[in-house]
Amino acid sequence: MAGKTALVTGSTSGIGLAIASGLAAQGVKIMLNGLGDPGEIEALRAEMARTYGIEVLFDGANLLRADEIGGLIGAIDAKLGGVDILVNNAGIQHVSPIESFPPEKWDAIIGLNLTSSFHTVRLTFEKMKTRRWGRIVNMASAHALVASPFKSAYVAAKHGLLGFTKTIALEGAEFGITCNAICPGYVKTPLVEKQIPDTAKARGMTEEQVIRDVLLAAQPTKEFVHVEDVAALAVFLCSDAGKAINGAPMSIDGGWVAA
């Protein structure tokens, strides 16, 4: 896949950053995207370009806005020759009982975790079809397959993203394009790490108890998934060896959905 171009959304931290690094290590040109401190993002971008000797650009498009997604794809077309590998990874979460779930949080979660992928695929698919090669990886979740209470918007968005994945898989199948969903369990990202001390304080537990009995209660290994493991799976799906995997929910959850 060396010489191809990848857009990894939400790649300024966590899973997206690991996937961008994994693809960069294969010689793929990278468009980073996400929110964050401009100085820190520039340092990440420069470091990735230097480490792997490839072109790495950054675009801070807010994926809640269709016009900014259009600008992002236009920038890749102009500067990097179009998107060959699309990783729809950006996502947010909000946890609340349904009766007090803020409607604006519902809209934002559906907007980022589901609708932004519709726009990125809509705007890149034709070029992939013309080239008769493309890889689309949608970052779903174990919550694309099973539910947990108080995560109504997230579970709905991730189930929707899996349905979208299957549809695009069928539309691209005869054009050398694959579209798959990765379904991680709990992954140790800064987002998750930050919750541990607060939850420990709130519940009067040790951090070890929070990890085992709260966060990883549903994950049979009782171990976090690591971002590098998710990245390796994404890279495999994008490789030539992954060409027959299409429309699949790829679980990487320590056995969560087996239970």
- Residues lying near ligand NAD in the complex (CB under 6 A) are found at 10-16, 33-36, 62-64, 89-92, 112-113, 139, 141, 184, 186-187, 189-192
Give the whole-angstrom CA distance, residue 122 versus residue 89.
16
Query: By C-beta, is 125 or 186 nearer to ligand NAD?
Result: 186
CB of 113 to ligand NAD, least distance (A): 6
Let me know if 154 is a catalytic residue. yes
Task: Please tell me which residue in 154, 164, 186, 256 is annotated as part of the active site.
Answer: 154
CB of 240 to ligand NAD, least distance (A): 25
CB of 220 to ligand NAD, least distance (A): 16
**Tokens 């030539």 found at:** 240
Residue 21 token pair: 């690094």
Query: By C-beta, is 5 or 12 nearer to ligand NAD?
Result: 12
Please enumerate in sequence order all residues whose Cβ is within 8 A of that of 46, keeping only pairs 6 or more positions apart, or say none. 56
Query: By C-beta, is 191 or 200 nearer to ligand NAD?
Result: 191
Query: By C-beta, is 122 or 243 nearer to ligand NAD?
Result: 122
CB of 174 to ligand NAD, least distance (A): 29
Nearest to 253 by CA among 144, 167, 164: 144
Please enumerate in sequence order all residues whose Cβ is within 8 A of that of 140, keeping only pairs 6 or more positions apart, or say none. 158, 161, 162, 165, 181, 182, 183, 249
Please enumerate in sequence order all residues whose Cβ is within 8 A of that of 158, keeping only pairs 6 or more positions apart, or say none. 113, 140, 141, 143, 144
Helix (H) or strand (E) holding 32: strand 29-33
Query: By C-beta, is 112 or 235 nearer to ligand NAD?
Result: 112
Helix (H) or strand (E) holding 137: strand 134-139
Question: Do residues 230 and 19 make contact, with C-beta atoms less than 8 angstroms apart?
Answer: yes
CB of 237 to ligand NAD, least distance (A): 15
- Burial string for 186-216 (b: 16+ CB within 10 Å, else e) reads bbbbeeeeeebeebbeeeebeeeebbeeebb
Catalytically annotated residues = 154
